[in-house]
Amino acid sequence: MEALISAVLGDLAGRAISSVVEKCREQRTAEEDLQRLHQLLLRLRAIVEEAEGRCVTNRGMICQVSMMTKQMFRGYYLLDTFKCREKKTGDEEVCRFSFVQSKFNPAKRFRRLSSDTQIESIEFGRDISKELKHVVIALESMVADMKEFAMFLMSYPRMHRQPYGAYLFLDKCMFGRQMEREQVISFLLQGEPLRGENLGVLPIVGPGLIGKSTLVEHVCDDERVRNHFSLILLYSGNDLKDETAMTFRDHCVIKHQNIASGKERSLVVIDLLGNVDEEAWKRLLHSAESCMTCGSKIIVTSRSEKIVRFGTTEAIKLSCLSEEAYWYFFKMLVFGSTDPEEHPRLTSIAMELALRMGGSFISAYVIAALLRENFCAWFWCRVLRSFRKYMQKNLLLFGEYCDVDKSQYIMTIAETRRVSEDLKPFLLHHSYQKGPAAQGEVPRITVVDVLFSRWSTVPQGKFEVLCWRSLIPPYYNYINACEFVRQNTTS
């Protein structure tokens, strides 16, 4: 009886304490919630950075790190949005417009904004305050359970190349694909093939320039993978239709070879630009099964989801980063070690630009390079206006501005006497990429040079520009063919 009474009293006490805590949370002001959110994000970021610097192999812990990372991105996105919503960019309230467009705006879930400006501002403030409280409560719960996770984390060895520089030198690190990388590595290190096949096949699909080659390159550079396979081959081509077993091997590039390891397992990476011919695939797979030892693996990447059916395991499908993750990525590219909180007006402009870029990595690097040229609000507003014109013009002409296979009109940023008014717009045609071995064949003039009209002689006709040079494996150079066009041909 005494035990029962003790249990009841303990339960009542626990509920009373929980009730008091909840009331205290509800009575906190927005400013207090912001301070609390900032503290929680610092603690969460420290845990995430520590996890990314260790060789974690447990799938459950990898999933937990992924969840923490998503919550961290969400928290920083909300923190920046809240701090910038009252700031002006000189011609409009950019941040509030950005947040209204966001799928994480609570107004999207609970109501439609009023057309009356004053009522809209009041309701917007209330809803974002509610969202702020929800995020703070979620992060408090997550951080409170981190003690046991941190203890497990310390048992894993550190990586030789720790990615701590990602927050200051983000252009030298792969961003946002840690979960997918560990999935691929887990597949490769499995001792036995799945479903009884002689060879395990992993398809990786996603749109162009989404990071498939970068992901695979980082996987192949991992020490665990290099120790597991004695030979890693890379094949790049179209549809395999004209390939035989002999020609296929001749067209492969050796990425890694370690004969002294005594292992005979091989890894073949097939990087396809389009669809694959099914009969050619079956023929090559049959030949590979007869000459590759048990435990060998194949990774095939393509933009087409038709290759999914060739896999012996579930395919990995890459998509654009979430809105919050992309903002975190772009913000670090633009501001680097500079504290964005010291420049709320510039942060507001950068937030709208990030929202408009549709998750494109190359656009993020190009626009970030532009913004770093001149760290003032006046110039950033000009970049924003130019990007709006770029979107509007291509949307009107082609129906969709972000299709990489279509030509796109670009408006120059600079206003100089070197380029006459009727030559200011230029047209971007097809794009392609070259490996690091083709340094002598890469154009010297960059897209940023064109946008700032920095050249000694105005190019005539069609010419090529370097859009972006990647600083991480596989170190591709992304090149665009373009030409100047006169105003009267584009109006």
The answer to whether the CB of 185 falls within 8 A of the CB of 227 is no
Select from 167, 201, 219 the last residue of a domain. 167
How far is Cα 208 from Cα 431, in angstroms, rounded to an integer?
11
Q: Are residues 153 and 190 in the same domain?
A: no
Q: Are residues 47 and 105 in the same domain?
A: yes
The answer to whether the CB of 208 falls within 8 A of the CB of 306 is no
Helix H or strand E segment including 317: strand 316-317
Q: Are residues 201 and 127 in the same domain?
A: no
The answer to whether the CB of 191 falls within 8 A of the CB of 295 is yes
Q: How many CB atoms lie within 10 A of CB 437?
A: 8
Q: What is the dihedral of CA 114, 116, 119, 123, to 10 degrees?
A: 30
Q: Are residues 117 and 253 in the same domain?
A: no
Task: Answer whether residue 338 is part of any domain.
Answer: no
- The two three-digit tokens of residue 47, written as one number: 């845990």
Q: Are residues 439 and 361 in the same domain?
A: yes
Task: Answer whether residue 228 is part of any domain.
Answer: yes
Task: Answer whether residue 403 is part of any domain.
Answer: yes
How far is Cα 25 from Cα 140, in angstroms, rounded to an integer?
11
- Predicted TM-score of the model (pTM): 0.77
Task: Answer whether residue 331 is part of any domain.
Answer: no
- The two three-digit tokens of residue 465, written as one number: 């520009």
pLDDT at 26: 52
Select from 167, 195, 228 the last residue of a domain. 167
pLDDT at 199: 84
pLDDT at 21: 45
Q: Are residues 208 and 276 in the same domain?
A: yes
Q: How many domains does the chain have?
A: 3
Per-residue pLDDT of the chain (491 residues; tens, 9 = 90+): 555 455 544 554 455 445 444 544 455 677 888 889 999 999 998 888 888 878 787 878 888 888 899 999 999 998 888 877 655 434 444 444 444 444 433 334 333 333 343 444 444 456 677 888 888 998 998 888 788 888 888 888 887 544 433 433 455 578 888 888 888 998 998 876 555 556 899 999 998 889 899 999 999 988 889 988 999 999 987 778 777 777 888 888 888 887 665 567 899 999 987 777 788 888 888 888 878 888 889 999 998 888 899 898 999 999 988 999 999 999 989 998 787 878 888 999 999 999 888 888 888 998 998 899 888 999 999 889 888 888 777 765 554 445 555 667 676 665 544 444 444 567 777 788 888 776 668 888 888 888 777 766 667 778 888 888 888 888 889 998 888 766 554 44
pLDDT at 216: 93
Q: Are residues 123 and 226 in the same domain?
A: no
Q: Are residues 422 and 442 in the same domain?
A: yes
Task: Answer whether residue 340 is part of any domain.
Answer: no
Q: What 8-state DSSP symbol labels residue 158? A: B
Find, among 65, 69, 64, the residue nearest to 51 by Cα: 65
Task: Answer whether residue 3 is part of any domain.
Answer: no
Find, among 66, 17, 51, the residue nearest to 155 by Cα: 51
Domain, as residue range, for 446: 357-490
pLDDT at 144: 85
**CATH code at 182?**
3.40.50
How far is Cα 380 from Cα 374, in angstroms, rounded to an integer?
8
pLDDT at 203: 94
Q: Are residues 188 and 260 in the same domain?
A: yes
How far is Cα 429 from Cα 444, in angstroms, rounded to an integer?
18
Q: Are residues 199 and 90 in the same domain?
A: no
Q: Are residues 73 and 213 in the same domain?
A: no
pLDDT at 380: 93
Q: Are residues 34 and 118 in the same domain?
A: yes
Question: Which stretches within 28-177 are classed as H helix?
Answer: 30-52, 59-84, 94-101, 106-110, 117-144, 146-153
Task: Answer whether residue 232 is part of any domain.
Answer: yes
CA quadruple 391, 393, 395, 400: dihedral sign:
negative
How far is Cα 274 from Cα 241, in angstroms, rounded to an integer?
12
Select from 108, 141, 167 the last residue of a domain. 167
Task: Answer whether residue 289 is part of any domain.
Answer: yes
